[in-house]
Chains A and B, each alone.
Chain A
């Protein structure tokens, strides 16, 4: 076992405001799957076999065996696995064979869970997408102010915000500033 202790980018931030809570959680493992050219059929077959479902559609995240699968780009998916497994990319690569290329991305992102009865009061000041109209299970890569973010709508009161690790502090500053602006 490794002697090195992992750290979270925001050191496990938790914040509570009237009506809003924000918590940094361990993301789990995030692996990107890029579909090899002309291998879509094999890929879909391997996806079904591995995760028990067909791949998600654009702007969609679906629960799959072991976690979630999210459409991230044309011919590319993010697999979010619940359990820590630093070899997840290699294991998935072996399951998908020549039909996909895998890249470990877990450490590139920071995960913040926003819970609120009125999340849109915050999110409409932070993210340009129409999240009110978005379905449960909506996921998209977009911008929050000027920082990249993946937003996932788990329910009408629960959202996950994933942002690049290196700028996570600025992202958190921007988000908490927005929350404070809203409740002022």
Chain B
């Protein structure tokens, strides 16, 4: 009952938050926006789509969420065809393929439709902007601070990653190492090993066991991968280990292990609702002509605050949502129901 109340209040606050400025300005007044998601039945994506719709409608826009019939680029091309022939002002898309949508999306842009992307970016030529849910530095900073907090400021810690070639994980790990070197407050932390569980439960369990046996004083394992964090959490909790786990995980997978007296005090994942909201404001600002999607553009995204468009690593432009979202003993129950 409490949970329901809390979420009702949260929802209320969010709606209010977005309605209030709408009464004054209504950035999206009269705009017709479409969001193309990856496929139907993805709870994770549904959060972003829901927030997008809610935010844009509160700002006076009409919104259509479009679901391709399959999670493929082909299916997205079909729905894009349809959208281009109608008079939409903008399309926000989560691309099922980096390059395959280029022709269609360029056709859309030629027809005067603004093309923004979120969650999964098409190549720079296929979009005007990308809304990035997980800036490398932001994720690394959150994880580093979690390690600092859980160790109590000093001691041994280890990383349990996916595969040694995983691009995302390696970028985060490198960024974590840089952060650790640059600030003195991390100087008493000792990163003893980066282990690779290959995103397999058995190998991740094996690596966790080896870490504990080899480093009896290990205080924290940081696993920036959903399979790794789950397997390690189960091992640590089953064995009543002193060592704690944090990292990036799925709330529904981590519910059993998250809380102050559990293996995982707290962990992170992107805020998909925030992503939907930011995508809505970004798209509306483009249609309204406030921004063009070029690096250096600045705008206000309602409650989320001010944002600046920056260069993306792939040569296009992007806007980064911010720090990932924390899941802890307080909110895990609620989020585990959602994804």
A and B pair up = no
